[in-house]
Structure 1
């Protein structure tokens, strides 16, 4: 395995933005694992638009996963060669993704996909279980956090930029619901490991957080 900088944390903590910039500075590959899960969520949303995704059996999910072709390049995700990087950020995709990502069959499907990147490249990988499950032996580990209100504001602004209609109240509710699902799920729940360096990003600028991470990365093991 090459050098892996693993970053975990709840939705809206700034993981994607920070990880992307850290990777760029270090010349590492940026791996947005959440985008991979959202691509699966997007697929099921399109295929089962009128169905409660939680009612789909694991066997059926496993069969559908065999039909999915996900590609990832330069921070963008493709499903059957279609760039869906913007579509996967919609709130409804976030909900379906959260439900599906709690299922072992889905996590088992993406685990080797994620690990293969580290076989070829030095990477900055961010998600919910990078430090605990996917890369437990990562070179450097970080946990980014922020208050629910701050994370909802960030989420709301992100959706507006992407021209996705929502309200701040909906963004806040989405963040809080996602926190509950991510931390309470049976398979690979969101957890802060003892060896992950904790950073509260609530009152810190992007530049400050990046600087903290780069300084920690530069330290000797």
Structure 2
């Protein structure tokens, strides 16, 4: 079963690019960040501190997350509610980063992610796919870009959705997220030793897609 592990920092464009690559290579796109966002959103809705393991861990059995796939992409549900848009707010993003630093949350979601890869040809994106979730993935890519470039992309995305913010705030949040993700004790963000580095600082979206498509195409030829 083909598995593409796509890792990288916040705002690198992993999910958007992976969605296009999934169509091109007939793969199922699994956005693992959405799982953590869903957990974070659930805790916020319960009035809990997403960074406080003592509050979060006992409530994990209550969290019912389902991923549904269609030609339009992945949809994520909390119970019966489609929260695919609700998890994309800045508040949900911060909550996601907080709960992802809790080892028990990562363990809670780990088997769900691995099961998807066992049963389907996937391109799975996140922070620790190539290092922890799918260490034996046939193709590993570490996607990155300068913090300033990632912040500008995120800023434009939020403005397009009508979410009022400013570039400096977004840049500060990107840098803070980078620090938290790379310094957490459990599964910190890092490039797997056998992953191909793809820096898209100077590329637009389509250029980024083509860069990763060429990497995947070359790797698939080697596997075959």
Tell me the TM-score normalized by structure 2. 0.92
**What are the ranges of 5 or more consecutive residues in structure 1 without an aligned counterpart?**
none
Contact 2:49 2:56 in 1 (8 A): no
Mapped to 2, the partners of 1:96 and 1:149 lie a distance apart of 22
| Number of the residue aligned with 1:93 | 92
Taking only aligned residues, the RMSD between alpha carbons, in angstroms, comes to 1.3
Q: Kindly state the Cα deviation for residue 82 of structure 1 after the two structures are TM-superposed.
A: 0.9
1:53 aligned onto 2:50: yes
Give matches, 1:1-221, under 5 Å: 2-48=1-47, 51-57=48-54, 60-74=55-69, 75-219=74-218, 220-221=222-223
Equivalent residue of 2:203, what SS? coil
Deviations 1:163-207 (A, max 9, x none): 222221221111011000000000000001221111111111222
Deviations 1:103-131 (A, max 9, x none): 10000000001011112110000000011
33-42 vs 152-161, which moves further: 152-161
Contact 2:40 2:50 in 1 (8 A): no
Contact 2:6 2:125 in 1 (8 A): yes
**What are the ranges of 5 or more consecutive residues in structure 2 without an aligned counterpart?**
none
Contact 2:114 2:133 in 1 (8 A): yes
Tell me the TM-score normalized by structure 1. 0.93
Structure 1 residue runs of 4 or more that deviate by more than 3 Å after TM superposition: none
Contact 1:19 1:124 in 2 (8 A): yes
Aligned residue pairs total: 216
